[in-house]
Structure 1
Amino acid sequence: MQAHTLTIGERLFRLRSSCDVAELAATLTAAVRQGGGMVDLPVVGEVSVQVLVSPGVSVVLETHEVDPSAIIDPSVPVPWLAADDLDF
């Protein structure tokens, strides 16, 4: 299973599992090329996030391989995904 995080500046965002990462990367790139712009982020949970992306801002999109048992296994001390990370 894959999980995606996006870091803009020093702020980290967990992305929904249904996120189209290629489309998000293209949208972020377009905003930078246009000199900056607001981008909607498909983050987990019941929250809406828009970020201002502009040239000079650090943007890092990471893909992590996550063991599905880490989601529901109580013996894992720090599970990768929290309950609000799951898309219902």
Structure 2
Amino acid sequence: MQAHTLTVGERLFRLRSSCDVTALVAALTAAVRQGGGMVRLPVVGDVGVEALVSPGVSVVLETFEVDPLALLDPAVPVPWFAVDDFDY
């Protein structure tokens, strides 16, 4: 299983597990190439987020490989997951 985080500027966002990463990267790239634009981010939880992405903004997409069984073991620390990280 993969988990993704996106950092825009200095702000980190946890992305939904159902996120289409390829489409998101394409939208981010298009915004930069157009000189800037708002991009909707598929973040975890019941919140809508749009970020202004422009050529001067640092954007970092991180992908983590996560063992789904580790999520059930309280002895295994998985720091980037919180209760609202799971899509039901």
Paired position in structure 2 for 1:70: 70
Q: 1:25 corresponds to which residue?
A: 25
Are the structure 2 counterparts of residues 18 and 25 from structure 1 closer, same or farther at C-alpha, using a change threshold of 3 Å?
A: same
Pairwise CA distance, 1:69 = 2.6
| TM-score normalised by length of structure 2 | 0.92
- Alignment gaps of 5+ in structure 1: none
What CA distance in whole angstroms lies between the structure 1 residues aligned with 2:16 and 2:60? 16
For the pair 1:49 / 2:49, whether they are aligned, the reply is: yes
TM-score by length of 1: 0.92
Unaligned regions of 5+ residues in structure 2, if any? none
Q: Are 1:35 and 1:55, in contact at CA under 8 Å, matched by a contact in 2?
A: yes
**Identical aligned pairs, as a percentage?**
78
Which amino acid is 2:51 matched to? V
Contact 1:71 1:80 in 2 (8 A): no
Contact 1:71 1:82 in 2 (8 A): no
Q: Which amino acid aligns with 1:23?
A: A
Q: CA deviation at 1:72?
A: 2.2
Alpha carbon RMSD of aligned pairs, Å? Answer: 1.2
